[in-house]
């Protein structure tokens, strides 16, 4: 086979693959090709002739959720969402109600085909006092398996939900977060009935890392794990702590040191775990906030988390 025939065969195989994906993932009942999808988009989105031609000729292709969701009830046409763990009725945002309300919200978004990012930073560290029968917290990372179950149970057309969990690298449970996916035996207890460790395979994980961390790495200094001093002012904690260290300090919130580690050693642990499983990723929050359009519009809408697509 000469080179020209090889190229033509490769193009044909490529086009056949595209047609297969289009038919299996984006066609509604009664549709069979790209032209059918574009015709539906034109009607649902009220496209002009030029806009429709642009999509038909694949000079512009909308996101997958738009292609599959347009014209269907209860299907999101947005791919990704950020869902905070937030409080109500002047309760702390790491209350049981807040945590499981977040899981309910994730389930509802997932069933409509949306992907979700959520931050665990607001949750108090393990062994910290709590106001319930447990007396002490099991920690931020301990809730990841239940979030993962949401991703498994609420499927999206033969695929699992798209979820990503984030934790600020300043949080005292950072080391548990780093290893919870690569070496769960270092973090979780084995189930006494199944003899299995908790599974978080339905979630990607990433650390929120400010520029400050890499400055400490360059200087070969210790990185300090810290969290609001809950006992210092519980009313302020309930009102102002939402997992954002900068906002907390702006409101004159007190931070308590929980431990420290050499920053280069911490970076080594992050890298080693990522080599094992691909997790955790790194969400460079300073870069994200400085280069996001919304930051220039209003500082209050600067990004604080990412979704699975933006990892």
Tens digits of residue pLDDT in 1-36: 688 888 888 888 988 888 888 888 889 989 999 999
CA–CA dist 42, 286 (Å, integer) = 40
Helices within the chain (DSSP H only): 3-21, 34-44, 49-56, 64-69, 96-111, 144-153, 174-179, 211-218, 234-240, 245-250, 263-277, 285-290, 293-297
Mean pLDDT by 10 residues, the chain (311 residues): 83 87 88 93 92 93 85 81 80 85 91 88 88 78 93 70 92 97 92 88 94 97 95 83 90 92 98 94 90 74 73 52
Q: Choose among 282, 141, 293, 268: nearest CA to 217.
A: 268
Burial class (CB in 10 A: 0-12, 13-18, 19+), 5: exposed
Say what the pLDDT of residue 90 is: 67
- pLDDT digits over 142-189, tens only? 999 999 999 888 865 556 678 999 999 999 999 999 999 999 999 999
175 contacts 125 by C-beta, under 8 angstroms: no
Domain extent listing, the chain: 3-69, 80-310
201 contacts 208 by C-beta, under 8 angstroms: no
CATH number of this structure's domain 80-310 = 3.20.70.20
Say what the pLDDT of residue 155 is: 65
Instruction: From residue 158, give the alpha-carbon distance in Å to each of 24, 28, 52, 150.
Output: 11, 16, 30, 15
């Amino acid at each position: 086979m000469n080179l020209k025939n090889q190229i033509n065969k490769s193009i044909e195989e490529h086009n056949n693959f595209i047609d297969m994906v289009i038919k299996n993932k984006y066609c509604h009942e009664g549709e069979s090709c790209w032209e059918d999808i574009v015709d539906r988009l034109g009607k649902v989105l009220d496209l002009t002739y030029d806009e429709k031609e642009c999509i038909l000729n694949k000079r512009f292709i909308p996101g997958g959720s738009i292609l599959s969701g347009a014209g269907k009830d209860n299907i999101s046409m947005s791919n990704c969402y950020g869902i905070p763990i937030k409080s109500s009725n002047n309760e702390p945002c790491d209350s049981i109600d807040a945590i499981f309300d977040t899981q309910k919200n994730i389930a509802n978004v997932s069933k409509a085909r949306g992907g979700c990012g959520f931050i665990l930073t607001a949750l108090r560290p393990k062994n910290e006092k709590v106001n319930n029968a447990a007396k002490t917290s099991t920690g931020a990372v301990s809730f990841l398996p239940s979030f993962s179950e949401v991703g498994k149970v609420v499927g999206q057309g033969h695929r699992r939900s798209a979820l990503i969990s984030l934790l600020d690298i300043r949080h005292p449970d950072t080391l548990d977060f780093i290893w919870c996916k690569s070496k769960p035996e270092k973090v979780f207890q084995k189930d006494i009935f199944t003899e299995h460790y908790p599974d978080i395979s339905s979630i990607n994980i990433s650390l929120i890392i400010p520029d400050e961390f890499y400055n400490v790495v360059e200087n070969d200094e210790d990185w300090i794990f810290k969290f609001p001093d809950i006992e210092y002012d519980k009313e302020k904690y309930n009102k102002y702590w939402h997992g954002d260290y900068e906002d907390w300090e702006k409101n004159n919130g007190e931070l308590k040191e929980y431990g420290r580690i050499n920053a280069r050693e911490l970076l080594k642990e992050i890298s080693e775990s990522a080599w094992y499983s691909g997790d955790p990723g790194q969400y460079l929050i300073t870069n994200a906030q400085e280069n996001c359009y919304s930051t220039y519009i209003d500082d209050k809408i600067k990004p604080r988390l990412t979704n699975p697509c933006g990892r």
